[in-house]
């Protein structure tokens, strides 16, 4: 009588299937959630990295905000222009023009320019050295221990002769260096052009005090703000209004650059053809491979 | 009275002494995966408790009425086609695993719909772990414990009824909640600690889970001691009968 057992087993499974699917079907209707089909479309169009660069918890959160009209379509830095265009297509809106954000180091002093430096034997990190008074005369400028270099995942910022220098060809604008800097001298600005003018000093002290600690620091002479309306003085430092920054001001800006007595206004960004020409006869230094027997492991562990 | 003692012992055993996670090491994947924050851990604990209760209810009902040899429903249906003594021997216990997985999957689906409708933030924080309860061994484990106390028990008085089965399931879920919440508390503190690079993430979590399990070994014997204290000794029983 094996067939009775077999058919009973089959009947049990079929009965359960019918019952469960009835219950679940009822629940599906009772607990129905209206999901905007556009939300799913937007989630599909986003990179799905869940990096939080847009300021929302993840891609799905941002997608909901976009569909709800609370967020602009161009917030995704990872997806860039193509992603913004795709989102705009789904939402049926125009993409407002957006610019990539890139970091600018507001310090222009190399080792030789900094005065009053003391020997520092502590941990070779900016965050540690920043806690100690008197490592260098300038309490605002770059310390040169390379916290930003370690923070960068893209090998795009390097300490060159004691000064953090951004490699704009590699930089993707993630902002990790700006977060890592304990002195907050790295800021993210919209790069409306390949090269942007920047104030390379963060010292807020008055001119005489700056001259004591730095050969190139801003002395707060206000020459730039007199020649160009884009500058305004904040605590003895000129600040550039990047919202208004555009080609119309080029003449004023170049005048301000010429008048700066400390040469503290510098164009930053990708190298121009002229720069590349100037160094074309120089050969790259031989790359020295690290010897792992002698180099120190940078594992952060202090027992 | 004896029934009440059994219930207390089952509850205590499932929640603390033989904790599902820390004694039997079942249900480790949500235990490691969702124990990052306390509120999420508690939510996961409640979800598992809820699913485990529904699954236990379903599996007890199905086992008792359909699967076990001589179950009323299958005996009745088989009685149409075969003599009564043969019908009483119809044994559908081979179906136990597939039926339990079926019941668990359905109840997880139900819970998922419910949570999605009424607790959207909890739904988001669960992510993939809510569907993963489906394959959570803790729940199947509870079903199989109940199965083992229904099928193949010699003394008919020892067969678990619905009350005992549900107690095991609910307090097993409570034990899971206790374990995952303690774990989440430790892991929140652990975020601030300087863990060696090679142990970060799952490594240190499993070490902590092991130490936690050792701490729970301290409950060993509590149930048997309690059983001794709660069952009247033969001498006392004789005295009370004489009076």
Write out chain B residues lying below 8 Å of A29, CB-based.
Answer: none
Q: For residues A65 and A42, give the distance between their C-alpha atoms in angstroms, rounded to a whole number.
A: 10
ipTM for this prediction = 0.75
CA-based torsion, B182, B183, B187, B190: positive or negative: positive
**Residue A303 has what pLDDT?**
45
CA distance linking residue B180 with residue B175, whole number of Å: 9
Question: Is B196 part of the contact surface with chain A (CB cutoff 8 Å)?
Answer: yes
Contact status of B77 with chain A (Cβ, < 8 Å): yes
A205, HSE (Cβ side, Cα atoms, 13 Å) = 14
The predicted model scores a pTM of: 0.57
> Measured between CA atoms, how close is A35 to chain B, in angstroms?
11
CA B181 to chain A, closest CA, distance in angstroms equals 24
CA distance to partner chain B, nearest, from residue A209 (Å): 40
Is residue B106 within 8 angstroms of chain A, CB to CB?
yes
A14 and chain B in contact, CB less than 8 A = no
Range B75-79, long-range pairs (CB < 8 A, 24+ positions): B77/A8, B77/A11, B78/A4, B78/A5, B78/A8
The residues of chain B scoring below 50 in pLDDT are none
In this complex, do A16 and B124 lie within 8 Å of one another by their Cβ atoms? Answer: no
Q: Say yes or no: B113 contacts chain A, CB-CB below 8 A.
A: yes
Chain A CB contacts of B77 under 8 Å are: 8, 11
The answer to whether A24 faces chain B, any CB pair under 8 Å, is yes
B103 Cβ under 8 Å from any chain A Cβ:
yes
How many whole angstroms from its chain centre is CA A285?
A: 29
Interface test with B, best of A1, A39, A48 (most B CBs within 10 A): A1
Between chain A and chain B, the number of residue pairs with CB atoms below 8 A apart is 68
Question: Within a 10 A sphere around the Cβ of B122, how many other Cβ atoms?
Answer: 18
Give the chain A residue whose CA is nearest to the CA of B198: A299
Which residue ranges in chain A fall short of pLDDT 70? 50-53, 96-98, 284-303
Q: Which residue has the tokens 């990052």?
A: B36
């Amino acid at each position: 009588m094996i067939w009775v057992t077999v058919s009973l087993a089959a009947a049990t499974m079929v009965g359960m299937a019918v019952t469960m699917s009835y219950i679940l079907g009822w629940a599906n209707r009772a607990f129905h959630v209206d999901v905007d089909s556009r939300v799913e479309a937007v989630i599909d169009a986003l990179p799905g990295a869940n990096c939080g660069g847009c300021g929302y918890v993840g891609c799905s959160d941002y997608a909901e905000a976009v569909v709800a009209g609370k967020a602009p379509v161009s917030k995704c830095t990872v997806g860039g222009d193509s992603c913004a265009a795709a989102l705009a297509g789904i939402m049926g809106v125009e993409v407002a023009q957006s610019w990539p954000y890139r970091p600018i180091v507001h310090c222009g002093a190399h080792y030789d320019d900094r005065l009053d430096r003391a020997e520092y034997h502590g941990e070779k990190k900016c965050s540690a050295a920043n806690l100690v008074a008197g490592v260098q005369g300038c309490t605002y400028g770059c310390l040169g221990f390379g916290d930003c270099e370690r923070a960068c995942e893209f090998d795009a910022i390097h300490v060159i002769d004691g000064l953090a220098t951004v490699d704009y060809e590699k930089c993707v604008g993630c902002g990790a260096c700006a977060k890592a800097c304990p002195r907050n001298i790295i800021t993210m600005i919209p790069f409306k052009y390949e090269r942007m003018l920047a104030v390379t000093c963060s010292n807020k002290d008055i001119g005489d005090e700056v001259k004591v600690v730095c050969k190139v620091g801003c002395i707060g002479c206000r020459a730039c703000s007199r020649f160009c309306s884009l500058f305004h003085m904040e605590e003895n430092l000129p600040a550039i209004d990047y919202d208004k920054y555009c080609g119309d001001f080029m003449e004023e800006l170049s005048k301000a650059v010429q008048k700066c007595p400390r040469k503290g206004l510098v164009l930053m960004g990708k190298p121009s053809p002229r720069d590349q020409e100037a160094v074309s006869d120089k050969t790259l230094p031989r790359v020295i491979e690290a010897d792992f027997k002698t180099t120190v492991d940078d594992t952060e562990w202090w027992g | 009275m004896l029934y009440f003692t059994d219930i207390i012992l089952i509850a205590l055993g499932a929640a603390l002494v033989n904790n599902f996670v820390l004694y039997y090491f079942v249900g480790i994947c949500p235990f490691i995966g969702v124990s990052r924050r306390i509120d999420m851990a508690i939510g996961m604990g409640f979800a598992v408790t809820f699913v485990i209760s529904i699954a236990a209810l379903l599996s007890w009902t199905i086992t008792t009425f359909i699967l076990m040899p001589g179950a009323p429903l299958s005996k009745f249906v088989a009685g149409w086609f075969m003599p009564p003594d043969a019908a009483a021997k119809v044994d559908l216990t081979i179906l136990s695993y597939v039926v339990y997985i079926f019941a668990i999957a359905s109840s997880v689906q139900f819970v998922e719909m419910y949570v999605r409708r009424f607790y959207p933030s909890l739904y988001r924080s669960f992510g993939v772990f809510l569907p993963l309860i489906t394959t959570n061994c803790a729940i199947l484990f509870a079903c199989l414990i109940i199965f083992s106390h229904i099928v193949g028990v010699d003394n008919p008085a020892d067969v678990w009824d619905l009350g005992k089965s549900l107690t095991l399931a609910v307090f097993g879920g409570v034990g899971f909640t206790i374990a995952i919440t303690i774990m989440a508390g430790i892991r929140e503190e652990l975020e601030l600690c300087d863990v060696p690079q090679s142990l970060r993430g799952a490594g240190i979590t499993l070490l902590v889970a092991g130490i936690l399990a050792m701490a729970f070994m301290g409950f060993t014997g509590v149930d048997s001691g309690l059983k001794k204290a709660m069952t009247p000794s033969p001498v006392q029983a004789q005295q009370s009968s004489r009076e």
